Every structure is written in C-alpha cells, then in structure tokens.
Amino acid sequence: MTAAPPRPVAIIWDWDNTLVDGWAAILAGLNAAFSEHGLPCWTLEQVKANVRRSLRESFPEIFGARWEAARDTFYREVRAQHLQVLAPMPGAEAALRAAAAAGLPQATNSNKQGPLLRAEAEQLGWAPLFTRLVGAGDAAADKPDPAPMRLALAACGVAPSEAVWYVGDTALDMVAARNAGCTAVLLGDAAHDGGVAAALPDFAFADGHALARHLRGLAAS
C-alpha cells in the first residue's frame, strides 16, 4: 500500500459488512436451508468466515442437485426478516454522504440478490445516493467477475481506472476491484481473511468513520 490513495472520480461499494450489517437474516436463511436438507447449522462466526461468493455459485457446491430447493428456502427466510434486522455499519452513512458532498457518483457491486439489496437501500433511505444498485443476478456473472462492476461503472459514467475505488470488507472484494481495473479499498480489519495484509488491499480504512473523514477532506480541498 502506498501512502495516499488517488483522488476518486467514483466509488463503487460492496454492501454486506461494508455498508450494512444484515448477518442475522443471512444466518437464519442458511440455517433454514441446512436444516431442511439434513446439514449441520452454522454459527454466526462460521457464516461471516464463509459467505463470500454469490448464492448461484456457492449453493451448487454445498447442496448439489438440491441447490435450487435450498435457494428457495434461503430466500424465503431472508425475505421474511431482512428489513427488520438491518442496521448500518459504523460510519457507513457518514461515508456515503461525504462522498455525495464531494460530488462523487456512487454505485454498488454486491453478491446480495439485487431485489433484496434495493429493498434494503430503500429501507435505509440511501437509494437516492446511488446511481445504480447492482446485486447478484443483475449481470451475466457475479463478483468477482468484472461483469457487475461494468454495470456499476456505466451507471456512474466512468471507465475502469485507478481513480475508481471499489470499497469492500473482504479479500474477494479486493480481487473484484483488480479484476475490473479499479483501486481496491478495504474497510475494516478483514479478520476472517487473515487480516489487512492478507487481504491485499491497495488502501485500507479502519471503518466508515475513518473513510468519511478522508472523503470530507476531499470535499474541502
């Protein structure tokens, strides 16, 4: 990591554990699917350590030929409660609003199903801050494939470059940023990926509050 990140022309965001804490609904959905198919349930720590890829990539490996039935169970449980347990991550709204104040277009690239993602953004009152909310299933392939990032970049009216930040909380997010030709910005300590150094970000911020301070500095300069 170099001393200071390039001034961004746009910011693309991950969603879960970057901007919002929605783990309770994900945990409930996974364990409902596991129970229905005779598999052992996970703890919250196991969910946080293992949930990275989109469902359409990970469920066939876990459930085999039964993955579509497991998918339906998962989404049924998640839809029943995700808006009730949703909470912003520390400093997330401040960072979003600081980016908006700096005149930066913003979008998402998340492995949360697109309709769920957009419902959560509406619930939090954040939808107007984004040019597009891209989630799993909205592109031909999901993160870390660059296809969904291309949708987000097109909505922001920018081309891939080091001046585009992709902000996420996992090593997979850093891979997704590089696959799309963007700067990889880590938010948090990447504890479940072995720490900040193991996640290999270009730049890192401890939390949303630290990122918001940096972005407010850009708006003032």
What is the location of CATH 3.40.50.1000 in the chain?
A: 10-21+87-220
Q: From CA 111, how far away is CA 142, in angstroms rounded?
A: 7
Q: From CA 165, how far away is CA 202, in angstroms rounded?
A: 10
CATH of domain 23-85: 1.10.150
Contact 143, 170 (CB under 8 A): no
CATH of domain 10-21+87-220: 3.40.50.1000
Its pTM stands at: 0.87
What is the location of CATH 1.10.150 in the chain?
A: 23-85
- To 10 degrees, what angle do helices 67-85 and 114-124 make? 0
Encode the chain (221 residues) as per-residue pLDDT tens digits: 546 788 999 999 999 999 999 889 889 999 999 999 999 999 988 988 888 778 888 999 999 999 999 999 988 998 899 999 999 999 999 999 999 999 999 999 999 999 999 999 999 999 999 999 999 999 999 999 999 999 999 999 999 999 999 999 999 999 999 999 999 999 999 998 999 999 999 999 999 999 999 999 986 66
